[in-house]
Amino acid sequence: MSDIPLDIYSQPSDDVPFNLDGSTLAEENAPFNSSIAAGLAINVTPSAEFSVLSVDEAVSKLKTNGTSGISSMEEVERRRELHGTNEVTSEDGEDNGKFGLLKRFLSGFIEDRLILLLIGSAVLSAILHNVGDAISITVAIVIVMLVGFIQEYKSEKSIEALNKLVPATCHLVRFGRESHVLAATLVPGDIVAFRVGDRIPADLRVIESVDLSLDESSLTGEPDPVHKSSDSVLANPTGIIPISERHCIAFMGTLVKEGHGRGLVVATGKETAFGSIFEMMSAVDKPKTPLQTAMDHLGKELSLFSFVVIGTICLIGIWQGRSWLDMFQISVSLAVAAIPEGLPIIVTVTLALGVLRMAKRKAIVRRLPSVETLGSVNVICTDKTGTLTANHMAVSKIWCLSSMSTKENVLNVGSTTDLRNYLAGDVRKTLEIGSLCNNATFSVDHSKFLGNPTDISILEELSKFGMEDERDKYTRIKEIPFNSKRKFMAVRLKCENSDDKESQLICVKGAFEVILGRSNTYLTEDGKIDKLTEKNKETIIECANQLASDGLRVLAFASSPYHSKTDFTDISEDDINDLTFSGLIGMRDPPRPTVKPAVEKLLQGGVHIIMITGDSPNTAVSIAKQIGIPVINEETSVLTGDKMKTMTNEQLANVISHVNIFARATPEDKLNIVQALKKRGDVVAMTGDGVNDAPALKLADIGISMGIIGTDVAKEASDMILTDDDFSTILTAVEEGKGIFNNIQNFLTFQLSTSIAALSMIALATALNLPNPLNAMQILWINILMDGPPAQSLGVEPVDHEVMKKPPRSRSERILTIAVLGRILGTAICIILGTVFIYVKEMSTDGEKSARDTTMTFTCFVFFDMFNALACRHATKSIFKIGVFSNSMFNLSVGLSLIAQLCVIYVPVLQHVFKTERLGAFDLLLLFCLSSTVFIVDELRKFIVNQYLTNYVEEENRYTTTV
């Protein structure tokens, strides 16, 4: 271990390399140049050095006592000052005081181009003494920032509540006494005791272990518990000990599944493997969302538009002989009017409401822009275990040689509740061995089993056969625990009421090839023992392979009577021989019932779904077929982690469009997958729950962590948390995201068409040296309607479920597409023509502008605005198809706006303020009919577009059928 200083505990060190060339992650930034950085960052943690030291050497190096722990409080304080508290927190999380929150709030003002443009508009309005505009724009800006800040802050608080579900406490041995304390108080050299159900509070060098197995899936992604012992690891010639080989290290955040033990704290906080990955995650810059990029472009476009307007109007006015100051005031007022200051607030409110709706559907969104990004996702990379599957092993099939004879005759247990008629002698013995060679235990309240998922699944199956757990009738004398090298578990038992050695029994379970190699007999259907021939073995192997190809985890079961030559006090693997084979059990983690329909809808919507799992290709393919992920050709659709490591990012990017499954993949591989997908321009959503998943979650456009089994680091790195760990929740989130973007485009169409129409009218009157058709208060009222309730109610339009039939929008696609611009210009022209017609018609009677002329023009424009809002509720569907009353907030806001407009016309006080006069019933009817043309024209456009699309689809279908 030459790359790790041997005196790491004598002085702190900040020069830990993240890359082989010596550069840091902060310098190189994401994407880390493959997974080298991920692996190296973990491998330089203190646990790597201590894994090759014996217990005595580790205790001596840390100057502590292996039994009583640290002896003085002064030494504890000195070590805490040197290494800090045993906590891993984000930089953001450390800055949540009053000043920190204020800093985060103010930083939002300089990160949004449109907000900056609005701030500039407010300043110009104030300079020109347009106090009303300055105040209204400032209020809009503050509301936008407050809504966004409060919503994201509330989401973070929800996440903190999730994290507190598991208290960070431990059993500490210090000063010779054991006490229950907060894990944050630990320092290197402390002794920690742990048992089933405890979470490891720091990186520990195991010094005592009894049948100890830990669930390291939170760190490595591997679902199988890992056996731990106090034996040191052999030093690796490369100087790097992979995490999976550190069998004497209990890592921070992992869970004790079986047994108990004690450990020596060798690393705390950011020095742990857990903390190392958290540091890497902090170095990754979160990419901008497609919506943020689109809004940036829109800000640039509106800025350019404003300057063009200012320049054009100024030149025209000066050419007409008007004063520079007058033209500057007019042109700036027009430019300010051109900017829809309500747009940011409507976007923010729409996103916030989307966040609230998604929270009710089991998805907590941390960052507002991420809501819309979900609608742009065209690739979802998902874990299998716990996300696509139920994360609960269940016995699926049982096969015994005698009672079933051929591989086709398999007992499908599945959802069957009563199987007592199938309880042949060999089936009974197989289940009996499975229950006796088992370490699962009851919870304190006896409501569920605790322990290895495989053990639990066997015990849960007993009741279907009318059997009971008979472990209390036996005394376990000795156990050989399962590990990945041995591939079997064995126990020696004796009857509780007998001391006769001949009544003792050896039960064994494990990999079928190992058990079969140690067996020479098999159990018959009637409970007798017969010789196991080579032909019998071939049949067993064929059946086991068939079960494995169905995606099952296959275990074989065997037993033998106790032999006096077998001594369990000093036993080796070679002593487990001459076994009697009884049967095979196939188990699976079944898919969640909600996953298949969700996958079908996502595929229909053009989303590429990629399963990433540490399981074998056979298991992965089986699950994929069950849930509807297409596997056309296993050679091209499935890629193993080993093969992926031999490929460059360019090679991976070239083939990844055909890959639907990554099998035997590690969490580190996720970084390469995200890099390859983003290199192609994809918008990537990545699910994860482990510590090692965190860098990939942060690098992805949408990082999705699990709320139940997810680690705190994964949640911190993610944009969204599934509180039910269910893949189908992603579908609802994607659907919500697509619907939100449609709503954003709809109210943007409404706002810009109204803004362009108003601006064009005023600019046209100025250019032609005509009287202004609208006075200042009337323009202000139109701006209020344009930015107020009617526009905002478009943002809460119910999501159209048919959005999932449309492909995701491109990362580079602008928010103002050609289609949207066409709608905006068409609508604006319609409004301009109708309003100018009324203005010219009214002025033609006497040739001079009067209060009636402006009232008719003003009211006509407002009515046009309301019908325009109605037309903008959906881009392609008729209002009569989506439902006139489906958006009650819209109907209420439009109704109140029309009532307010009538008050402006008929209430004397408001008549004086707005310079209006009463209109007759015929006038209102004329204006109503004329302004409805904008709605009628848009309905005709939708009808023509839908007819064209329908004919096009039918023609395509006929062509495909013919071919």
Integer Cα distance of 373 and 369 in angstroms: 7
Smallest Cα–Cα separation from 279: which of 675, 694, 690, 672?
694
The residue annotated as part of the active site, out of 224, 383, 455, 719, is: 383
Helical H runs in 180-246?
Answer: 217-220
CA torsion, points 725, 729, 734, 738, in degrees to nearest 10? -150
What is the spatial distance between Cα 284 and Cα 29, in angstroms, rounded to a whole number?
A: 6
Residues in the chain, how many? 963
Distance (Å, rounded) from C-alpha 318 to C-alpha 326?
10
Token digits for 209?
Answer: 């272990």
Token pair of 688 as six digits: 């994860």
d(CA 625, CA 622): 5
CA distance 193 to 200: 9
> Could you confirm whether 383 is annotated as catalytic?
yes
Q: Are 394 and 586 in contact (CB under 8 A)?
A: no
Tokens of 267: 């690393």
SS3 457: helix
Helices (H), 177-259: 217-220
868 in Cβ contact with 831 (< 8 Å): yes
Q: Is 844 helix (H, G, I), strand (E, B) or coil?
A: coil
* Tokens of residue 54, six digits: 């014996």
- Residue environment code for 848-871, b if the CB has 16+ CB neighbours within 10 A, otherwise e: ebeebbbbbbbbbbbbbbbbbbbb
Kindly calculate the radius of gyration of the chain based on its CA atoms and give it in whole angstroms. 35
Q: In the block, which residue shows the tokens 């109610």?
A: 793
3-state DSSP assignment of residue 12: coil
SS (H, E, C) 472-505: HHEEEEEEECCCCCCCEEEEEEEECCCCCHHHCE
Round to whole Å and give the CA distance between 306 and 299.
10
Which residue, 93, 274, 64, is CA-closest to 188?
Answer: 64
CA–CA dist 628, 79 (Å, integer)? 55
Listed residue (411, 434, 420) closest to 582, CA to CA: 434
Beta carbons of 773 and 835 less than 8 angstroms apart? yes
Residue 320's CB: how many other CB atoms inside 10 A? 12
User: What are 199's strand-pairing partners?
Assistant: 255
Contact 90, 271 (CB under 8 A): no
Q: Contact at 8 Å (CB) between 200 and 171?
A: no
Taking CA atoms, 359 is separated from 304, 602, 728, 733, in Å, by 39, 20, 14, 10
Both structure tokens of 923: 């006038």
How many angstroms separate the Cα of 791 from the Cα of each of 305, 342, 477, 832, 951?
22, 9, 76, 19, 34
Burial, 194: exposed, middle or buried (Cβ in 10 Å; 0-12, 13-18, 19+)?
buried
- Are the C-beta atoms of residues 516 and 537 closer than 8 Å to each other? yes
Q: How far is CA 94 from the centre of its chain?
A: 23
- Contact indicator for 177, 191 with CB cutoff of 8 Å: no
Active site residues: 383
